[in-house]
Amino acid sequence: MKAARWIIGAILLLVITITATLQLSPSLGNWPLATQASTPGEVTITYLGTSTILISDGETHLLTDGYFSRVSIPALFGRIEPDQQRIRSALKKAGIEKIDAIPVLHSHFDHAMDSGIVAQMTGAQLLGSASTAMVGRGSDLAEERITTIQTHQPYQFGDFTLYFVPADHVPLPRPIEKWTGKGEITQPVRPPAYLGEWQEGRCYGVVITHPGGSLLIQGSAGVQPGELDRYQADYALLASASLGKQSEYYQQVFYNETAGAVGAHTIIPVHWDNFFVELSEDVKPLPWFLDNLDKSFEAMANRHDGDFIVLKPFQRLTLTPPEYSEPPADTAASPLAH
């Protein structure tokens, strides 16, 4: 009888310890936070968790990925689906009514799952891989609202030009890779579905140019060397999750082939937040058991001579316009530098 009570007590203690450990996150305390306010007419970016970023010049609005459901870890073991209420409340809080384009960086659930629904709600064109197109179809988005992209081709929305650039996914432990789906999506994904159905598909970085500012967004900490060499961007928004777990060599290549390749003066980390809880201004970083924020941030900040700033969710940053040098008279101006 006494032994049984001891065992039950020990199990209870273990459960409480594990639950508490899963909640523990690193702190943003040591990292510089952006403070710049926005001015109408300029290009602003608003961080909305994961690699969901609103880019706007006041007329035209772009939103990468658009993942707001932020399914909890326990729920990931069952069928999952977009959380309409969370999507609506995040859109409202970010002041989003209309979106022109939703470029999706790869098709895992934490990037693509809500993209079709958000496109429906905001009138946006959905752009991404053939796998992302299947996510759009599964959300009953009209075929003409889905663009299966070609890499290195310009896509124009207002004064913004977008280029999708081949990239890679950060390496994940093999069981996680299997669970989250590494292949292509070959038929429409109709939620609710198991998370593995939102297979990765192709991974991209996206370069966005505008007279008011240029940026690169890398949705996962992986690259295909050489692909960004032809572009110039002042801001590099780089996925942080799992970067700190990679080798020094991997981190150096990632830096060289992203912020280094485009000559960014400012790095802004993205995909560092705990995306298993609803988005809020004071969202915590990913829990310790998934990522060490300081290690992942240092992997970028310690290699970079320019600025490294952290945007909190819903916080807006105004970009500085690119410093264009006058092109020689006999050469046409090109958005592609180098």
- What's the closest the beta carbon of residue 220 comes to Zn ion, in angstroms? 5
Written in H, E and C, the secondary structure of 243-264 is HHHCCHHHHHHHHHHHHHHHCC
- What's the closest the beta carbon of residue 164 comes to Zn ion, in angstroms? 16
Nearer to Zn ion, 57 or 273 (CB): 273
SS3 184: coil
- 240 and 270 Cβ atoms separated by less than 8 Å: yes
- What's the closest the beta carbon of residue 315 comes to Zn ion, in angstroms? 24
Nearer to Zn ion, 34 or 221 (CB): 221
Alpha-carbon gap, residue 199 to 195, rounded angstroms:
8
- Tell me which residue of 213, 95, 231 sits closest to 164, measured CA to CA: 231
Residue 252 CB contacts under 8 Å (≥ 6 apart), including other chains: 303
Written in H, E and C, the secondary structure of 42-77 is CCEEEECCCCCEEEECCCCEEECCCCCCCCCCHHHH
Alpha-carbon gap, residue 145 to 136, rounded angstroms:
9
Nearest residue by C-beta to Zn ion? 108
- What's the closest the beta carbon of residue 317 comes to Zn ion, in angstroms? 24
Nearer to Zn ion, 108 or 210 (CB): 108
Q: How many residues bind Zn ion (CB under 5 A)?
A: 1
CA angle, residues 328, 332, 337, in degrees to nearest 5: 85
Alpha-carbon gap, residue 12 to 4, rounded angstroms:
12
- First and final CA of the chain: distance in angstroms? 77
- 279 and 90 Cβ atoms separated by less than 8 Å: yes
Task: Dig out the tokens for 300 from the structure.
Answer: 């970028």
Under the binding rule (CB under 5 A), the answer on residue 202 touching Zn ion is no
- What's the closest the beta carbon of residue 97 comes to Zn ion, in angstroms? 28
Q: What is the footprint of Zn ion within residues 73-112 (CB under 5 A)?
A: 108
Nearer to Zn ion, 108 or 202 (CB): 108
Binding mask 258-277 for Zn ion (x = CB under 5 A): --------------------
Residue 73 CB contacts under 8 Å (≥ 6 apart), including other chains: 22, 276
Nearer to Zn ion, 121 or 216 (CB): 216
Nearer to Zn ion, 196 or 335 (CB): 196
- What's the closest the beta carbon of residue 111 comes to Zn ion, in angstroms? 6
Nearer to Zn ion, 198 or 297 (CB): 198
- What's the closest the beta carbon of residue 75 comes to Zn ion, in angstroms? 18
- What's the closest the beta carbon of residue 169 comes to Zn ion, in angstroms? 5
Nearer to Zn ion, 200 or 234 (CB): 200
Alpha-carbon gap, residue 253 to 240, rounded angstroms:
14
Binding mask 304-333 for Zn ion (x = CB under 5 A): ------------------------------
Nearer to Zn ion, 213 or 285 (CB): 285
- What's the closest the beta carbon of residue 242 comes to Zn ion, in angstroms? 10
SS3 202: coil
Question: Using CB under 5 A as the criterion, which residues of the chain lie in contact with Zn ion when the complex forms?
Answer: 108
